[in-house]
Amino acid sequence: MPGLAERVNSLKASSTVAFAARAKELARQGVDVISMTAGEPDFLPPEHVLEAAREALRLGLTKYTATEGTAELREAVAAKFKRENGLTYAPDQVLVSNGGKQTLYNAFMSVIEPGDEVVMVAPYWVSYPAQVQLAGGVPVVVTARAEDGFVPDLADVRAAITPRTKVLLINSPSNPTGAVFPPELVRGFAELAEEHDLWLFSDDLYEHLVYDGKFTTAAAYVPHRTLVVHGASKGYALTGWRIGFGAGPKPLIAAMNRLQGQSTSGANSLAQHATVAALNEVEKTAAFQAMTRAAYRERRDVLVTGLNRLGLSTPLPAGAFYVMTDTTAIDPDEERAAIKLLDEARVAVVPGTDFLAPGKVRMSYATSLEQVREALQRIEALLG
Ligand code: GLU
């Protein structure tokens, strides 16, 4: 067999995807496993969104859409940014993609030259450094500390900037830590981007999952150099429908659109139609988000209290649906700790290794309160 390209030979598989798949496979085999792996809401999408998907079928919306997404969806996205964030985008400043993951990938591919640096905060989502490297760039990491609730120090961000820096990446609420950055820190990132003439990529996927404090998008400060990365997966419980969207300066969106037109073309036509309902039927969606937020908050409180009581130190995150837990009491090595949790407690988690969070694992509480309680009991039994 002929060889493979170096870019994939050196590419690690996504551990969030891999551990979630492993937990699903065990469940399929009948193993009683509690999956706290993937960041995937356990709620069904709201009924008005499901109904819009049925309507899309009835209307026969089965053809390709424009690469950039349907006009209706791009208008709905622009209206969402206006309504919720006070941001003004023309529809041609919006690109719909196959999940926020593709939005981000398009963006890195559109701005990075070989050797360009992207400053990101660790613990980070596993796909950030991988995507930067695929684009020929170099991830430069700023570490946020557990004792600071995983909120980074702006001085560390400043110190990481070099003449090769091209992009600052900000993700608040954060996957995998759940940290929500205060507005003055977000503004600090924006000021650094302005001062050093950098792109600012603001991954806002978890906007609607904030329990304490307030969501702030970096685009509020420097929209002319910010790409907002967003999508339907988290706040609207539409993970499998694969709808992401980006909004930002026209030349960047146009470049991302050219790239997408030569790779995947437009996103799924039925899912785009359903996402219009998720965005435009404002009151119904807000009620759904309030309901899910209250449920996540309760689970978070139970989980964080329970883990700390068991001696597994876990900061209380203000957002998203993840906690970063210190598992050195189970095993100093986080991969071995994750294996013990799976094999002996039947609780599936993602080891911190690929998030650059040594000694820790990520646990998702996008699972029922009952499962969260059961997981805590199993961990307690494991710890003896
Ligand atoms: N973003 C989710 C997670 O971190 C989904 C899996 C993935 O694409 O990484 O679990």
Give the distance (Å) from ligand 1 centre to CA of residue 38: 6
Residue 267: pLDDT over 90: yes
pLDDT per position as a tens digit, 291-332: 999 999 999 999 999 999 999 999 999 999 999 999 999 999
Kindly report the backbone phi and psi dihedral angles of residue 51, in degrees, each rounded to the nearest multiple of 5, phi listed first.
-65, -40
Place of tokens 């009620």: 287
Same domain, residue pair 204 and 299: no
Report whether residue 38 contacts ligand 1, using a CB cutoff of 6 Å. yes
pTM for the model: 0.97
Same domain, residue pair 184 and 295: no
C-alpha–C-alpha distance, residues 198 and 173, integer Å? 22
Split at pLDDT 50, 70, 90, the class of 358 is: very high
Work out the number of other CB atoms within 10 angstroms of the CB of residue 363: 29
Q: Of the residues 262, 281, 300, which one is the last residue of a structural domain?
A: 281
Supply the pLDDT for residue 87: 98
pLDDT per position as a tens digit, 33-52: 999 998 899 999 999 999 99
Report whether residue 316 contacts ligand 1, using a CB cutoff of 6 Å. no
The amino acid sitting at 363 is M
> Is 1 part of a structural domain of the chain?
no
Nearest Cα residue to atom 3 of ligand 1: 39
Cα–Cα distances in angstroms (integers) from residue 63 to residues 51, 72, 272, in the given order: 19, 15, 12
Number of domains in the chain: 2
* 232 close to 96: Cβ distance less than 8 angstroms: no
Same domain, residue pair 215 and 345: no
Same domain, residue pair 198 and 121: yes
Same domain, residue pair 95 and 167: yes
> Is 346 part of a structural domain of the chain?
yes
Give the distance (Å) from ligand 1 centre to CA of residue 126: 8
Split at pLDDT 50, 70, 90, the class of 181 is: very high
> Is 245 part of a structural domain of the chain?
yes
Pairing of strands 360-364, 350-351: antiparallel
Same domain, residue pair 57 and 173: yes
Pairing of strands 244-247, 322-326: unpaired
Residue 185: pLDDT over 90: yes
Same domain, residue pair 96 and 219: yes
Report whether residue 378 contacts ligand 1, using a CB cutoff of 6 Å. no
Mean pLDDT on 183-202: 98
Q: Which atom of ligand 1 is nearest to the CA of 126?
A: 9
Mean pLDDT on 58-75: 98
> Is 153 part of a structural domain of the chain?
yes
Give me the CATH number covering residue 332. 3.90.1150.10
C-alpha–C-alpha distance, residues 121 and 140, integer Å? 9
Q: Of the residues 281, 302, 322, which one is the last residue of a structural domain?
A: 281
Report whether residue 17 contacts ligand 1, using a CB cutoff of 6 Å. yes
- Please state, for a pLDDT cut of 90, what percent of the chain lies above it: 99
Q: Which two tokens stand for residue 127?
A: 């796909």
Supply the pLDDT for residue 38: 85
Same domain, residue pair 305 and 168: no
Give the distance (Å) from ligand 1 centre to CA of residue 321: 11
> Is 25 part of a structural domain of the chain?
yes
* 169 close to 201: Cβ distance less than 8 angstroms: yes
Supply the pLDDT for residue 236: 96
pLDDT per position as a tens digit, 115-171: 999 999 999 999 999 999 999 999 999 999 999 999 999 999 999 999 999 999 999
Q: Of the residues 254, 281, 308, which one is the last residue of a structural domain?
A: 281
Same domain, residue pair 316 and 257: no
Q: Could you tell me which of 33, 13, 12 has the C-alpha nearest to residue 349?
A: 33
Supply the pLDDT for residue 59: 98
Supply the pLDDT for residue 247: 98
pLDDT per position as a tens digit, 194-204: 999 999 999 99
Same domain, residue pair 28 and 85: no
Report whether residue 175 contacts ligand 1, using a CB cutoff of 6 Å. yes
- 349: containing domain: 6-44+285-383
Same domain, residue pair 222 and 345: no
Mean pLDDT on 188-217: 98
Give me the CATH number covering residue 226. 3.40.640.10
**For 13-17, 79-83, 163-167, 356-360, which range has the lowest pLDDT when averaged over its residues?**
13-17
Split at pLDDT 50, 70, 90, the class of 340 is: very high
Pairing of strands 94-97, 244-247: antiparallel
Supply the pLDDT for residue 157: 98
> Is 69 part of a structural domain of the chain?
yes
> Is 311 part of a structural domain of the chain?
yes
Same domain, residue pair 157 and 271: yes
Report whether residue 16 contacts ligand 1, using a CB cutoff of 6 Å. yes
